[in-house]
Structure 1
Amino acid sequence: MASTFEYHPQPTLITWAETKMRETYPGFVFARDARAIGHARDGELVAVVVYDRWSENDCMVHVVSDGSRSWMTRSFAVVAMAYPFRQLGFTRITAMVSELNEESLRFSQRFGWRLEGYLRKAGPKGEGLLLFGMLKSECRWLPEAAETFRSDEISGIEGWQRAQDVLSRSRRTSNGQVSAIRAGSGSEYRPRRTQAG
């Protein structure tokens, strides 16, 4: 199975990601400044990371997949994180995840995102959104990454307990037990090693 990373055409990558997002959120569109990197298997897109809402040292990151489990590889994670952190020189990136999207909440934690806040009734269905951030120094997908802070350091954020409750619900395993991963504290997750190409 040939695996490639796609950078062009940008409209195709962004449209693919918007179409997938609209399956859950009808009418969803990325900001006009969106840029994307795709992951294709045998010529078919299986995932796209979209970056939009740029500021001087930050942007929003959206990870969209075809729903399969095979799209996430170490190589794709490195490419997706190298773009904002190495190529653009950003110090941080930001993501928002619906409290209703338990799969994305689990993925965000396992990937290394840190919970930074809870936005009440900010989602398209009136649900809350969990705000995640990642600093360059925390990004384990880059060789120079190092662990820096713990979630307890930001425990005063309004809505923190609600966000913790949502994450706790999202960490239930198939047998109903809650995993030992704490919100924002990192995890012991290590993705399977697969090679692109």
Structure 2
Amino acid sequence: MSAPDIILDDPDRLIAWAAKQLGLGFFSDARAIGWGAADDIRAVAVYERWTGTDCCVHLISDQRPGWLSRRFIAAGFTYPFVVGGLQRMTGLVPASNKRALRLNQHFGFRIEGALRRGADDGGDMIVMGMLREECPFIGKDRPYGQ
């Protein structure tokens, strides 16, 4: 088995893996990057609903130790902000998923509002956003994937 690395060359397989993990589909404009190896995907970031200034981001993992690395985090923010040229990213997190809310806030996302009863569990969906200039993982001193 290969050492984990950024996976950029097979977005259809990454999106299919993420959809299976979550049990849902993504919009037709979905793009993805992954972390792992060709034979062992550990995490995928899916970006969908591209508007020219924004996209929705989903982070999906298998929860095994080592699924999250600084290199994957940097690549995950570089892709939409630098490669995609976006000004912001939006994340939608069920209010009941406290772990995901904490992780998103740790990354630098800010709570921007709530979609009342918007989550599958009947609870609220928390709207989180990050502006490009607020992102701590990109910049001149942090090249792509470092």
Which of 43, 46, 49 is the aligned partner of 1:47?
Answer: 43
Q: Measured at CA, do residues 139 and 127 of structure 1 come closer, stay the same or move farther in structure 2, by a change above 3 Å?
A: same
Quote the residue 2:139 is aligned against. Answer: 143
Note if contact 2:29-2:50 (Cα within 8 Å) is conserved in structure 1: yes
SS, match of residue 96 in structure 2:
coil
Note if contact 1:137-1:144 (Cα within 8 Å) is conserved in structure 2: no
Quote the residue 1:21 is aligned against. Answer: 22
Note if contact 1:13-1:37 (Cα within 8 Å) is conserved in structure 2: yes
Quote the residue 2:127 is aligned against. Answer: 131
Letter of the 1:13 partner, please give it: L
After TM superposition, give the deviation of residue 114 of structure 1 in Å.
0.7
1:22-101 superposed matches below 5 A: 22=23, 28-41=24-37, 43-101=39-97
After TM superposition, give the deviation of residue 68 of structure 1 in Å.
2.1
Q: Which runs of 5+ in 2 are unaligned?
A: none
Quote the residue 1:115 is aligned against. Answer: 111
After TM superposition, give the deviation of residue 56 of structure 1 in Å.
1.6
Identity of matched residues, %: 36
Letter of the 2:47 partner, please give it: Y
Post-superposition Cα deviations, 1:59-101, rounded to whole Å, max 9, x if no partner, equal 0000000012421111111111111111111110100001121
Q: Which runs of 4+ in 1 moved over 2 A?
A: none
Aligned: 1:105 with 2:101: yes
Letter of the 2:97 partner, please give it: N
Note if contact 1:2-1:42 (Cα within 8 Å) is conserved in structure 2: no
Quote the residue 1:6 is aligned against. Answer: 7
After TM superposition, give the deviation of residue 144 of structure 1 in Å.
5.4
Letter of the 1:80 partner, please give it: G
